[in-house]
Chain A
């Protein structure tokens, strides 16, 4: 696999990370090294093997559909970057 600088920029955009040209170049060199390591996986025959997503063979627990958390808005908003009248403020998204 060869990762291009444009791939790095595209992935950074998908991940919502601003990168400068210089950062993209550094990341490109380092990621190429890391993917060199990851490529070792290719040599392994995995036909017929079930993917393992979890260490324990468990099923998702279900709970009763009832309210378990009270309203703690004021406490939670004390640590928010910007709030007004109980609302989180972000730049305008709809004109």
Chain B
């Protein structure tokens, strides 16, 4: 049951071979047994989950069910869910019971899905290893001495350890794709604007995008069908025709032109990851695809550009946390300014404070043009590289991360080394393109390797097609860690 696809679970529920209450209880029992060793969830609330499951069973009995009715999912703790503790991995929100639902949560509620709990994450989604969470690091289910990646590391670990049927993540610089790669699961960051950001706690608003994380590309397509859609409460939500992201899954790949960016296979890529990715490309050739060498000459600048733009937007977004209306307030203070300064100093962790300082600095008088405007100009050059590349190919492939999962604590003292773990993913966010990661083998220490697939704007269906066809021909995505 725990390895079943969403389609299979849906069929079992519809045929009443299992009830949603039974399925939800199965996952709750697994969470109770395995989560203490993994720390993938920050909050579980069996009462609320089972209440949703009972409602789903009634809906199924009355035959008003959707494909998601009764399916137990996990939600990243960045999504506000009414009545649920929503911490965003921060002490600042340690007591924040959300009074409303994020759009993505509401979409799943309307479809009748069950919320199993809120998954652990880097604080305010700032991190690549899940070590910045106020609630402790998540352990990688393939090796508990290693990181799961971040920031959606709790979600990635929960899917890999089969502690949910599928789950949500968010991706600002690689936060869906990198943990998906490090935990051996599939994850998709859609085109910017496809999923509403309403109720998704903001980090860098021009880059943040929600997306699904699951055991297979087919499951991702079904999840995205629920998550995507116009929402007038997000001013950057795109008004587009509703589409079925699973419509092209069965298409053969004959004639698919895959672009391989030379910059993604250069110095900095570890050998084991390079080998697994090359083997995946060879598999794609067998499936009828052709390969073309491309160049993304400005992509090497994506890390410096990102570390100007994302902290700038974050420093503005996080100014709302002041200890007045909700969240953490320092116990002692002398006056209003002191209350702000102490509440923020005690409520935010070190990485978040670092990024607020960077952002405040690059936006301050005298530095705005040299840093912020300069970074926005290079952002356009980076986006233009992709536009040029897509004249020669249909899809771009390469590694998701430069190495497999590193050890907990290994990059703790050096922010710059940590930032470089997102070197292949960040450019995609800057351009606003869709990107995904699927498992394509194992590297050193038997840790999973992710293949990154980058599509043109709104080309999610084609990417999912390419990923699904690969998953029909290989079985990397169905491997699960031992001891789960």
Render B331-349 as a binary contact track against A, CB cut-off 8 A, 1 for contact: 0011111111110110010
Is the C-beta of A70 less than 8 angstroms from some C-beta in chain B?
no
Q: How far is the CB of A75 from chain B (nearest CB, A)?
A: 5
A54: chain B residues within 8 A (beta carbon): 206, 236, 432
Q: How far is the CA of A50 from the CA of B361 in the complex (A)?
A: 22
B353: chain A residues within 8 A (beta carbon): 17, 27
Please state if B232 and A61 are interface contacts (CB–CB under 8 Å). Answer: yes
Please state if B206 and A79 are interface contacts (CB–CB under 8 Å). Answer: no
Please state if A56 and B193 are interface contacts (CB–CB under 8 Å). Answer: yes
Closest to B335 in A: A91
Closest to A51 in B: B376
Q: How far is the CB of A48 from chain B (nearest CB, A)?
A: 9
Please state if B360 and A14 are interface contacts (CB–CB under 8 Å). Answer: yes
Whether A15 touches B374, Cβ cut-off 8 Å, given contacts A54-B236, A82-B329, A90-B339, is: no
Partner of A27, one of B344, B354, B373: B354
Closest to A89 in B: B324
Please state if A52 and B357 are interface contacts (CB–CB under 8 Å). Answer: no
Q: How far is the CA of A39 from the CA of B304 in the complex (A)?
A: 8
Q: How far is the CA of A78 from the CA of B376 in the complex (A)?
A: 41
Q: How far is the CA of A72 from the CA of B82 in the complex (A)?
A: 14
Partner of A81, one of B298, B324, B379: B324
Q: How far is the CA of A36 from the CA of B375 in the complex (A)?
A: 15
Mostly, the A contact residues are loop
Whether A55 touches B377, Cβ cut-off 8 Å, given contacts A19-B345, A81-B324, is: no
Closest to A81 in B: B329
Please state if A31 and B354 are interface contacts (CB–CB under 8 Å). Answer: yes
Is the C-beta of A67 less than 8 angstroms from some C-beta in chain B?
no
Whether A91 touches B336, Cβ cut-off 8 Å, given contacts A38-B308, A76-B99, is: yes
Please state if A34 and B377 are interface contacts (CB–CB under 8 Å). Answer: no
Please state if A12 and B308 are interface contacts (CB–CB under 8 Å). Answer: no
Whether A38 touches B235, Cβ cut-off 8 Å, given contacts A7-B361, A17-B357, A31-B357, is: no
A31: chain B residues within 8 A (beta carbon): 354, 357-358, 361
Please state if B432 and A16 are interface contacts (CB–CB under 8 Å). Answer: no
Partner of A52, one of B95, B324, B327, B377: B377
Is the C-beta of B276 less than 8 angstroms from some C-beta in chain A?
no
B95: chain A residues within 8 A (beta carbon): 79
Render B210-252 as a binary contact track against A, CB cut-off 8 A, 1 for contact: 0000000000000000000000100110100000000000000
Using A55-B192, A81-B328, A81-B329 as known contacts, list a sample of 10 further A-B pairs with CB atoms less than 8 Å apart, ordered by residue number in A: A27-B357, A50-B377, A51-B377, A54-B206, A54-B432, A55-B193, A55-B430, A56-B192, A76-B99, A90-B339
Q: Top 7 A-B pairs ranked by shortest CB distance?
A: A55-B432, A51-B376, A52-B380, A81-B329, A46-B377, A18-B345, A18-B341
Residue pairs across A and B with Cβ atoms less than 8 A apart, 29 shown, are: A11-B360, A15-B319, A15-B344, A15-B356, A34-B419, A38-B371, A41-B308, A41-B375, A44-B298, A44-B301, A46-B374, A50-B377, A51-B379, A53-B206, A55-B191, A55-B206, A55-B207, A55-B433, A63-B232, A75-B99, A78-B97, A79-B96, A79-B97, A79-B326, A80-B324, A90-B339, A91-B336, A91-B338, A91-B339
